[in-house]
Amino acid sequence: MNDKKLIEIIQTVLYGKKIDDLPSGDTIWDTLLEAASRNRVLYYFASQVESNYRSCLSSVIRKKIEMIISEGNIWQERLKNTLLFIKDNFSKYNILYLIVKTKRNIPYVTYDVDVLIREEDFLKVKEILNAEGQFTKHPGKQSKNQINFFGNDLLTIDIHKDFTWQGFRYLEKDIVWKKYTNTIIASIEVPIPTSPIEFILYVAHLVYERRYITLLDLNNLVDLSNVISDYSTILEQTEQFGWKNSFLNLISILNSLSYHIYPYFRKVLPLSTEELKISEKGFEMPYFIPSLHVLSSFKEKIVFERKIPYWDIAYYIYTTFRYHISGKKRFPYYIDWLKK
């Protein structure tokens, strides 16, 4: 079974739709579970399989599904406890904060929570949390604007005072505080940026840090785009901070992947970008951003910043090499969270 068919089945299950030709045999189900894990939707995929297809599974696969759900519930509880920890400690000292890059359209397993605070509260937050756990510096230039907090039975908390990646700013931080909203994550109500800001942050994360796209990413970006009516802020910010071409290149990739996956074509953003042609044979999820697009993003950054991002280039070469020698299993920032 090719990768496109695997993703189509996973997508159908995720959205609770009926599968007419449900696959049979433990081998194909193992392959589906592995593909779901690589695309960061394993927990919810297993939950949907348990709810809708349990009677069709062998006892071996049932046990695996139960183990996945049980393990995923532990991570969901950690996410909930982490959000409560942030809410209780920051609210107690009137620290204004936003949970960023954590909201998803389906429950998923994550290892960290990103929090944005105001620059003037950065040192105060370190003092508040100092007795609750320990801090580590983020590698490279990122340490100037980010610290990572580790507490018992909590996810890692990445605390940001600005939106940058290795010294490169891709969004005006003040615009985020002008308007934000609340949402429910892991049953906890938390403040988050507006949808256009979340969209910018998400795309920047894919372009400059991850450089690959999972099914979870694509589904979430499509959902975000559905509630965005004004794209002017998005385009203005990407142009202001010198990464508009890189942004539009990623949009063309997302639109092409969307074309392959959804039963009807849903553009991630209705922008007049030239579509990247992805053949069915070349379709693979997670989808790694082509090297030419990555090099183009480096070039755009170099021209705008007038300096060479040596660390980023070295990191890209290292992670790409590691990915291929691992047999396409080791991703830059994500490894399968449940080993069989």
On whether residue 338 sits in a domain, the answer given is no
pLDDT at 146 exceeding the cut of 70: yes
For 190-221, how does the pLDDT look when each residue is reduced to its tens digit (9 = 90+)? 999 999 999 999 999 999 888 999 999 999 99
Question: Would you say residue 118 lies in a domain?
Answer: yes
Domain annotation covers residue 334? no
| Lowest pLDDT segment from 15-19, 158-162, 287-291 | 15-19
**Residue in the block written with tokens 């996945």:** 68
Q: pLDDT per residue over 242-274, tens digit each?
A: 999 999 999 989 988 888 887 666 677 766 566
- pLDDT (tens digit per residue) in 219-243: 999 889 888 888 888 999 999 999 9
DSSP for 74-103, please give it. Answer: HHHHHHHHHHHHHHHHHHHTT--EEEES--
337 domain-assigned: no
Residue 167 pLDDT more than 60?
yes
Identify the domain containing residue 147 by its residue range.
3-325
Structurally, how many domains does the chain consist of? 1
Per the domain annotation, does 332 fall within a domain?
no
Average pLDDT over residues 28-57: 92
Structural contact between residues 86 and 95, judged by C-beta atoms closer than 8 angstroms: no
Is 103 within a domain? Answer: yes
* Number of H-type helices and E-type strands within the chain: 12, 11
In a domain, 277, yes or no: yes
The 3-state DSSP composition of the chain as helix, strand, coil percent (nearest 5) reads: 55, 15, 35
User: Residues of the chain with pLDDT > 90: what percent?
Assistant: 50
Mean confidence (pLDDT) of the chain: 87
- The CA-based diameter of the chain, rounded to the nearest angstrom, is 61
